[in-house]
């Protein structure tokens, strides 16, 4: 596997730190030095280091301690450093060192309006370092820190170009382990995270508040490597490792044949888009099965597609199928039963998800069945499973609900959204933030179903033989499909393929057809 970004829970980080701390490793000194180095880099990127004015927001734990020690380095680099203490007691050693180095300490809680006092101070500072809470946070911010952070967040959004916000370990107030955002959070430009990434830096909605994530190596890797990560994000290099590349002896059946039963008389476009996504991904063949209107459209647009039944190695079912269409639903049901009996991987999209809600065998799906709902469809599915859920519940805690659906159904769940989350019944969550908001357009999901189906077809024989290494493969492949689909959208929108690149650029509108057409260009950035 490539350099996948791995995130570990707060408890796992503490357990990994413990032996090092017991052995006298100066972890906080290392963390603070690395933090200061990143702050200096941000300052340098914007012009000058010496003479810059830096604000440290210091909470009551070691997270605040990191910032206080970092402040001593920043003073030495010629910065004017202010520390606003937003807790009655702060890290004593850090405070003493900061004072001795010349950091100006402000006991803002003594002010009549601490939030106003901090904002006043912050307006004079080009960098705000958020060190209110780290992995020791319990729940959303409370006490005096909550209004302070809320006021700074409002101040920052009023002046979006200024200042630079650097979060220490995590943006204070996020759900460190689950990525929820239940109270005020100051959005960061950069999060300097200690030892390893944390799940909340990858999972939505909190991931959107972390900015660029910089991991500081603290020597925890050895211990953490033995533990599966709680969440991870694939990089292009991981996807290159996973992507089937044909060799000289390959033929269409070894490359994978995908069956697509999608589209309807009413929504024929879904058939064409899923097919386009699959063909552009690279596979042996697409076999399309559906009614006349979509079948004609598919044949016209993609003459290489076969429209008679026969051997397949994976299925895409349901995109553009109206669940009220009883005859079509019965067909999907048959394909699903046959696929499950043959242990073939299957993508269940749109109309096929509704099908499951009436299927009493729902809890028996294998992890090689991948459900691809958006938030509303996932809420409906969970409600049908007896877990009353609204769309807003899903968007507030996407990872938790995707995991719940995976546990209930046994399937792998790819939850579509600004950040795509993939959950299997067990194993790490995947979070992929590769796309652009332009991708929220009709038919984009059909293209994704095709891309994922094609990838699964390439692994179909391996999956059907049951010899692949465990239940994580369908989740990894789903995350890989999300990355390629997201990159295709960025390329189609005129953006650089990597999500961290060209942040300032907005790009241009795209259609789902543009996304399918850009899949080869996306693969070029992955496979080289």
Ligand X SMILES: NC(=O)C1=CN([C@@H]2O[C@H](COP(=O)(O)OP(=O)(O)OC[C@H]3O[C@@H](n4cnc5c(N)ncnc54)[C@H](OP(=O)(O)O)[C@@H]3O)[C@@H](O)[C@H]2O)[C@@H](O)CC1
> Stretches 110-118, 140-148, 412-420, 466-474: which one binds ligand X (CB under 6 A)?
140-148
Binding residue for ligand X, selected from 60, 200, 425, 474, defined by CB under 6 A: 60
Please calculate the CA angle 11-402-153 and round it to the nearest 5 degrees. 65
Q: How far is the CB of 169 from K ion (least distance, A)?
A: 5
Q: Which is nearer to K ion, 206 or 321 (CB)?
A: 206
Question: Residue 161: which of 113, 212, 126 has the closest Cα?
Answer: 126
Structure token digits, residue 129: 């370092």
Residue 139 known to bind ligand: yes
Contact call for residues 99 and 71 (beta carbons, < 8 A): no
Binding residue for ligand X, selected from 52, 72, 80, 133, defined by CB under 6 A: 133
Q: How far is the CB of 31 from ligand X (least distance, A)?
A: 4
Examine residue 168 and tell whether it contacts ligand X (CB under 6 A): yes
Residue 51 known to bind ligand: no
Residues across the chain: 528
Binding residue for ligand X, selected from 66, 155, 393, 514, defined by CB under 6 A: 66
Identify what 434 binds: ligand X, K ion, none; CB under 5 to 8 Å per kind: none
Binding residue for ligand X, selected from 143, 219, 363, 376, defined by CB under 6 A: 143
Radius of gyration of the chain (CA): 25
Q: How far is the CB of 66 from ligand X (least distance, A)?
A: 5
Site for ligand X in 6-45 (CB under 6 A): 17, 21, 27-28, 31
Residue 465 known to bind ligand: no
Contact call for residues 264 and 322 (beta carbons, < 8 A): yes
Q: Which is nearer to K ion, 139 or 376 (CB)?
A: 139
Count of residues engaged in binding ligand X, rule: CB under 6 A: 28
Binding residue for K ion, selected from 172, 233, 264, 432, defined by CB under 5 A: 172
Examine residue 31 and tell whether it contacts K ion (CB under 5 A): no
Output helix, strand, coil percentages for the chain, rounded to the nearest 5. 45, 15, 40
- Specify the pairing of strand 127-131 against strand 53-58: parallel
Contact call for residues 10 and 224 (beta carbons, < 8 A): no
Examine residue 135 and tell whether it contacts ligand X (CB under 6 A): yes
Examine residue 193 and tell whether it contacts K ion (CB under 5 A): no
Residue 138 known to bind ligand: yes
> Stretches 172-180, 205-213, 317-325, 429-437: which one binds K ion (CB under 5 A)?
172-180
Identify what 188 binds: K ion, ligand X, none; CB under 5 to 8 Å per kind: none
Residue 120 known to bind ligand: no
Examine residue 59 and tell whether it contacts ligand X (CB under 6 A): yes
Sheet containing strand 104-106, edge to edge, reads 104-106, 80-85, 53-58, 127-131, 164-168, 190-194, 212-216
Examine residue 194 and tell whether it contacts ligand X (CB under 6 A): yes
Examine residue 136 and tell whether it contacts ligand X (CB under 6 A): yes
Conformation bin of residue 495: beta by default, left when phi > 0, alpha when psi is -120 to 50: beta
Examine residue 61 and tell whether it contacts ligand X (CB under 6 A): yes
Structure token digits, residue 20: 């090092």
**Cα 97 to chain centroid, rounded:** 38
Sheet containing strand 412-415, edge to edge, reads 5-7, 231-233, 429-432, 420-423, 412-415, 369-371, 346-348, 314-317, 257-261, 285-288
H helix count then E strand count, the chain? 22, 17
Task: Residue 455: count other Cβ atoms within 10 Å of its Cβ.
Answer: 30
Contact call for residues 512 and 440 (beta carbons, < 8 A): no
**Burial label, 182 (beta-carbon count in 10 A; 0-12, 13-18, 19+):** middle
Examine residue 137 and tell whether it contacts ligand X (CB under 6 A): yes
Count of residues engaged in binding K ion, rule: CB under 5 A: 3
Q: How far is the CB of 59 from K ion (least distance, A)?
A: 7
Binding residue for ligand X, selected from 48, 142, 252, 505, defined by CB under 6 A: 142
Site for K ion in 117-136 (CB under 5 A): 130
Q: Which is nearer to K ion, 149 or 236 (CB)?
A: 149
Contact call for residues 192 and 38 (beta carbons, < 8 A): yes
Please calculate the CA angle 318-320-325 and round it to the nearest 5 degrees. 75
Examine residue 191 and tell whether it contacts ligand X (CB under 6 A): no
Residue 420 known to bind ligand: yes
Q: How far is the CB of 100 from ligand X (least distance, A)?
A: 19
Binding residue for K ion, selected from 68, 146, 168, 258, defined by CB under 5 A: 168
CB contact burial 141-156 (16+ within 10 A = b; e otherwise): beebbbbbbbbbbebb
Residue 446 known to bind ligand: yes
Binding residue for ligand X, selected from 103, 122, 125, 141, defined by CB under 6 A: 141
Identify what 137 binds: ligand X, K ion, none; CB under 5 to 8 Å per kind: ligand X
Question: Residue 522: which of 439, 460, 463, 462 has the closest Cα?
Answer: 439
State the binding site.
62-66, 130, 134-140, 169, 172, 270, 320, 374, 416-420, 445-446
Binding site membership for (6S)-NADPHX: which residues? 62-66, 134-140, 169, 270, 320, 374, 446
Which residues are near K ion by CB under 5 A? 130, 168, 172
Q: Which residues bind ligand X (CB under 6 A)?
A: 17, 21, 27-28, 31, 59-64, 66, 87, 133-143, 145, 168-169, 194
């Amino acid at each position: 596997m490539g350099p996948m970004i791995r995130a570990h829970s707060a408890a796992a980080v503490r357990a990994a730190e413990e032996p090092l701390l017991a052995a006298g490793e100066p972890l906080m000194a290392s963390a603070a030095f690395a933090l200061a180095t990143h702050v200096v880099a941000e300052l340098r990127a914007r012009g000058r280091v010496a003479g810059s004015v830096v604000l440290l927001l210091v909470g009551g734990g070691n997270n605040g301690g990191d910032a206080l020690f970092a402040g001593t380095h920043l003073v030495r680099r010629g910065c004017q450093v202010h520390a606003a203490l937003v807790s009655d007691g702060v890290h004593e050693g850090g405070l003493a060192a900061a004072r001795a180095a010349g950091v100006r300490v402000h006991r803002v809680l003594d002010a009549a309006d601490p939030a106003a006092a901090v904002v006043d101070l912050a307006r004079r500072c080009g960098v705000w370092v958020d060190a209110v809470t780290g992995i020791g946070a319990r729940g959303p911010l409370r006490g005096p820190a909550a209004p302070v952070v809320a006021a700074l967040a409002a101040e920052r959004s009023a002046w979006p170009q200024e200042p630079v916000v650097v979060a220490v370990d995590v943006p204070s107030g996020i759900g460190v382990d689950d990525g929820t955002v239940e109270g005020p959070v100051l959005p960061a430009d950069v999060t300097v995270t200690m030892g390893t990434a944390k799940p909340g830096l990858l999972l939505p909605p909190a991931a959107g508040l972390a900015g660029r994530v910089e991991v500081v190596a603290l020597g925890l890797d050895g211990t953490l490597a033995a533990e599966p990560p709680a969440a991870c994000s694939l990089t292009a290099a991981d996807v290159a490792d996973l992507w089937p590349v044909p060799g000289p002896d390959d033929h269409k059946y070894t490359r994978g044949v995908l069956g697509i039963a999608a589209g309807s008389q009413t929504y024929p476009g879904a058939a064409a888009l899923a097919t386009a996504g699959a063909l552009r991904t690279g596979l042996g063949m697409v076999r399309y099965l559906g009614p006349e209107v979509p079948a004609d459209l598919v044949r016209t647009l993609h003459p290489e597609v076969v429209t008679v039944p026969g051997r397949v190695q994976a299925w895409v079912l349901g995109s553009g199928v109206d669940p009220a269409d009883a005859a079509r639903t019965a067909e999907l049901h048959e394909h699903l039963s046959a696929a499950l009996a043959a242990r073939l991987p299957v993508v269940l999209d749109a109309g096929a998800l509704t099908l499951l809600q009436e299927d009493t065998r729902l809890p028996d799906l294998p992890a090689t069945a991948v459900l691809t709902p958006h938030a509303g469809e996932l809420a409906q599915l969970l409600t049908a499973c007896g877990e009353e859920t609204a769309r807003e519940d899903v968007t507030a805690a996407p990872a938790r609900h995707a995991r719940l659906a995976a546990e209930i159904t046994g399937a792998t769940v790819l939850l579509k959204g600004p950040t795509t989350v993939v959950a299997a019944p067990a194993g790490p969550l995947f979070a992929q933030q590769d796309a652009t908001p332009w991708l929220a357009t009709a038919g984009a999901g059909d293209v994704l179903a095709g891309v994922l189906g094609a990838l699964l077809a390439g692994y179909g024989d391996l999956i059907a033989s049951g010899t692949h290494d465990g239940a994580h493969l369908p989740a990894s492949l789903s995350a890989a499909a999300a990355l390629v689909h997201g990159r295709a959208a960025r390329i189609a929108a005129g953006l650089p393929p990597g999500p961290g690149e060209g942040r300032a650029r907005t790009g241009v509108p795209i259609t789902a057809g543009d996304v399918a057409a850009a899949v080869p260009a996306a693969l070029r950035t992955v496979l080289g």
